[in-house]
Structure formats: C-alpha cells, structure tokens
Amino acid sequence: MRSNYSLTVFTLLFSLFIYMFYRTERTLINEIARFILSFDTYAEMRAAITHAVPLNEPVIFSLPGGLWVFCTSILSKDFYMKILDHKIQVFIIPVMFAIGLELFQLLHLANGRFDPWDIGCYLLFWLLAYLSFKPGRPQQDILSPFTLNSFICIACFLSVYLAHVGR
C-alpha cells in the first residue's frame, strides 16, 4: 500500500504543478497560492516556469484529470460502499465522476469546456489503474470502519475541488 501512496503523492503533485502554473489563475488552488505567496511573487514564478518549461495543450488540459482518475482509482481499489443492499466498488466512481463532469460541461451545467480527449484520457488512466489491481484482495467498506486508508482515499476524491474555477 505504501508504494501506492508514494506513486499517488508524486502524481498528484505533478498535476498540482500543472494547475498552479499552466491553468487559469481562477482555480481555487491558484487563488490560495496568490494568497500565500502574494500576487507579484506568484505571477513571477508562473512566468518563469512557463517560459522555462513549455507544455503542450493535451498535457496542460487533459493529463491532470487523467492522473487524478488514476490516483483515485488506485487508492479506492480496496473499498466498496453499501447503498441500500447493493455493494458498489469504489474504484468505478473516479472514472464515472470525471466523465459525468465532462458531460455536464457539454450541457453547460458545469464550468469548463467539453473535450472528448479528456474522456479518452480518463478512460486510459482508469484502465491502467484497473490493470494494476491484484485479484482476490479483500475489500472493506470505505466508511465502516473509518480508517486512515479510507480518509486518504476520500481526501483524494475531495482534492478535485482545488481545480474548481470560480465564475
């Protein structure tokens, strides 16, 4: 499990790097960075980094979501949720959430721009996570008992809010 955490932390930090320095300044994480660092310091860092390390659009706009799906799927593979009398495997939720959000963008029910490449990226990274699962591992309810592993998995789900763009 520790190797999953290391991989997940590195991957999420890479996504955070992309969001902080290449995505719109209106994301929640960028507003937090400007608050902590000051507007001028953040602007100087952003300009220096984007000049030194140019990235193409698919890396900037599709890769972070795919990496989030990968990380959250990896962390959730050992969990299920009980809703009424049904067991739902938590590892299916990241890809469903990401694709659902993309469809909401298509219907203009969520901020952002619909991009079919994003959906392809989500599916690819979910499939990579799924193929890394070892069969036959015991699963536990994500909420009962509530453990550190449960908390880390749920925190990864909640981290998507840092990419929220204000109006």
Tens of pLDDT along 101-140? 999 999 999 888 899 999 999 999 999 999 988 777 788 9
Using DSSP, state whether 125 is helix, strand or coil: helix
| pTM, 2 dp | 0.88
Distance CA 95, CA 122 (A): 6
In the chain, where are the structural domains located? 2-163
According to the model, what pLDDT value does residue 158 have? Answer: 85
Sheet bearing 79-83, strands edge to edge: 86-89, 79-83, 140-141
